[in-house]
Amino acid sequence: MKSGDKIRVDAAELGEEAPRIGVIDLVYPQIEEGRVIADATVEGLGEYFVGDRLRVWISAGTRPAFVIPASYVRTRFGIDYVQLRQGDRTVEVPVQRGRDVPTPALPDGLEILSGLRDGDQLVQP
């Protein structure tokens, strides 16, 4: 964790539906009882949480992943499906959903663990 890293504040912590994205300003060098203290700026948060403990998500590394809008996934009989364009037709393929990965550009982002390949063209249902 370092200055400039992005953070995501849980929507549940704010009493809202969508999480807020911010940036770490300062990481204090002292660790107390296994906790790291940092200052962050989150747009639209105000000064309500100054000095409070708040659950946030930080990056612990990167890896390649397929992240798609959650609205593209349909669940039937407990199995998740997406629609793909193959030539001039549309087919449904099963996928394994991962965790929610909301970003400012894709607030309903959903990681897909399996079922998609590079070059697949998703079709919105």
**Residue 74: per-residue pLDDT:** 96
**Statement to judge: residues 53 and 70 lie in one domain:** no
**Residue 75: per-residue pLDDT:** 96
Confidence tier at 34 by pLDDT (50, 70, 90): confident
Tell me what the mean pLDDT of segment 7-36 comes to: 82
**Statement to judge: residues 54 and 23 lie in one domain:** yes
* Domain closes at, from 58, 75, 91: 58
| Within-domain flag for 99 | yes
**Residue 39: per-residue pLDDT:** 85
Asked if pLDDT for residue 12 goes beyond 90, the answer is no
Domain that includes residue 53, residue range: 6-58
**Statement to judge: residues 42 and 75 lie in one domain:** no
Which residue, 10, 86, 17, 79, is CA-closest to 49?
10
The 3-class secondary structure across the chain, one letter per residue, is: CCCCCEEEECHHHHCCCCCEEEEEEEEEEEEECCEEEEEEEECCCCCCCCCCCCCEEECCCCCCCEEEEHHHCEEECCEEEEEEEECCEEEEEEEEEEEECCCCCCCCEEEEEECCCCCCEEECC
**Residue 20: per-residue pLDDT:** 81
Query: Tell me: the pLDDT tens digits for 41-97?
Result: 888 776 666 777 777 888 877 788 899 999 999 999 999 999 999 999 999 999 999
**Residue 8: per-residue pLDDT:** 86
**Statement to judge: residues 53 and 91 lie in one domain:** no
**Residue 77: per-residue pLDDT:** 94
**Statement to judge: residues 73 and 113 lie in one domain:** yes
**Residue 16: per-residue pLDDT:** 74
**pTM (global) more than 0.85:** no
| Within-domain flag for 115 | yes
**Residue 25: per-residue pLDDT:** 93
| Within-domain flag for 1 | no
What CATH number has the domain bearing residue 93?
2.40.420.20
Task: Give CA–CA dist 100/1, Å, rounded.
Answer: 21
> How many domains does the chain fold into?
2
